[in-house]
Amino acid sequence: MINPSIFKKRRERFISCLAGRAAIIPAASSVVHHADCEYPFRQNSDFWYLTGLDEPDAVALFLPHRPEGERFVLFVQPRDPAQEVWYGFRWGVDGALGHFGADKAHPLSEFPSRLGEYLTGAEAIAFRIGKHPKVEPLVLKVWAEHLDQAPRVGSAAFRLEAPCPLLHELRLRKQPDEVDRMREAARIGAEAHELARELARPGMNERQVQGLIEKHFVDQGARGPAYGSIVAGGDNACVLHYASNNQQLKDGDLLLIDAGCSLVDYYNSDITRTFPINGKFSGEQKALYEVVHSAQKQAISCVTPGCQAEEVHTTAVRNLVEGLVELGLLTGNVDGVIEQGAYRHLYMHRTGHWLGLDVHDVGAYRLGEYHVKLEPGMILTVEPGIYISDRLCVPEGQPEIQDRWKGIGIRIEDDILVNESGHEVLTSAAASSIELLEH
């Protein structure tokens, strides 16, 4: 399923961006859950993007300054029957060469002794400080040695740079093969939301709905949830990162579900739907839902090549504030409310983010003073909401909130591909119109 030529093309593009810099990109390490039990392994997305190797602790070198046949080097855990009987198969050095297309491969234990030679002749070192606690001291030691030797050798990589701007600009613009995978993640995620709405009933526990959704993910061949699924009945929906998922669903409440899947190659969906648990919106719920839905539609309509991602947010905010003023939940001139941020007790987050191998995917949103403009191949979420609870104070000059509105939290989140003609809503198979949510 994983096509080695895709990774090869990515490496070629990355190496050509590096010019004379040598890049060091480490894999993720396993993370302890408790005692000697570990979380399921989750590869570092940069390392995955360039190698397709799903093993911990490996390190990839990209060396444009070396002759052909020495530009992609992998350090990997060596084959070891005693380790593999506990932790499973490893590709080892031969697999790194034969299966993952490395020009050279070595056991991980040789990284400290071989790194210096591979870096010789590089103009700079591209390595992300602060993220790789096992590899960082080794890199810094070798770099310090290079600097010490520079007066006699006559040159050294004097600069240490973050590889992120180069690599993340590549990851931000999805290639057609990546768009296909994002469509698949969106399809499975959207189906799971449809299923959850069909089956959710008053009296069920939030965690039972979580189980239904996540079962669908794995049934459909995904790795599992892309992030901690949020299944939040009633007022729990006003907790943006609600993680407990342990309350009973109540007749008359809304249910907010923010859940998406991660495929075996780590492409993700990120979808939120909010619907009445008993199949009928109350008057207040419907009024607020209409405001969020209309704000989302307006915001999505901004997604087109050349538009700034920032406009998506400002459009959502304007529409939400207009709707809330009409309902009497905010008061005053719309521009003034926006300028003062006097809506933030009801809408306190941004309207979206890039989406890809990371759920909050890499890529700049602004470059200095300039907001990034959308281009075909970029994928972002559009996820406005309204959250009415007692948690935040009402700003001075804004109306106190009547009890009939409290405990309503609504968010609608779709995954949007920017294409040549505008956009495609990848997650539209998950219903969001009031007519389809009621039964």
Active site residue 258: yes
Catalytic: which of 118, 242, 267, 387?
387
Which of 178, 184, 235, 413 is in the footprint of ligand GLY by CB under 6 A?
413
Q: 353 an active-site residue?
A: yes
Tell me the angle at which helices 164-172 and 4-18 cross, rounded to the nearest 10 degrees.
Answer: 140
383 sits near ligand GLY (criterion: CB under 6 A): yes
Buried b (16+ CB within 10 A) or exposed e, 8-42: eebbeebbebbeebbbbbbbbeeeeeeeeeeeeee
Q: Considering only residues 268-287, where is the footprint of ligand GLY by CB under 6 A?
A: 270
Q: State in angstroms the smallest separation of the CB of 226 from Mn ion.
A: 9
* Catalytic status, residue 413: yes
Angstrom distance (rounded) from CA 255 to CA 239: 13
* Residue 411 falls in the annotated catalytic set: yes
Residue 227 engages ligand GLY in binding (rule: CB under 6 A): yes
> Is 349 designated active site?
yes
Residue 383 designated active-site = yes
- Contact residues: Mn ion, CB under 5 A: 258, 270, 381, 413
Is the Cβ of residue 282 or residue 428 nearer to Mn ion in the bound state? 428
φ, ψ for residue 166, nearest 5 deg: -70, -55
String of contacts with ligand GLY for each residue 249-268, x by CB under 6 A: ---------x----------
Q: Residues 90, 345, 411, 423: which is the catalytic one?
A: 411
Task: Check if 423 is active-site.
Answer: no
By CB under 6 A, the residues from 324 to 353 that bind ligand GLY are 353
Nearest to 329 by CA among 269, 410, 420: 410
Q: What is the rounded distance in angstroms from the CA atom of residue 140 to the CA atom of residue 127?
A: 10
CA distance linking residue 141 with residue 163, whole number of Å? 19
| Least distance (Å) between residue 258 CB and ligand GLY | 5
Residues marked active site are found at 36, 241, 258, 270, 349, 353, 360, 383, 387, 411, 413
Interacting residues with ligand GLY (CB under 6 A): 227, 258, 270, 353, 359, 383, 413
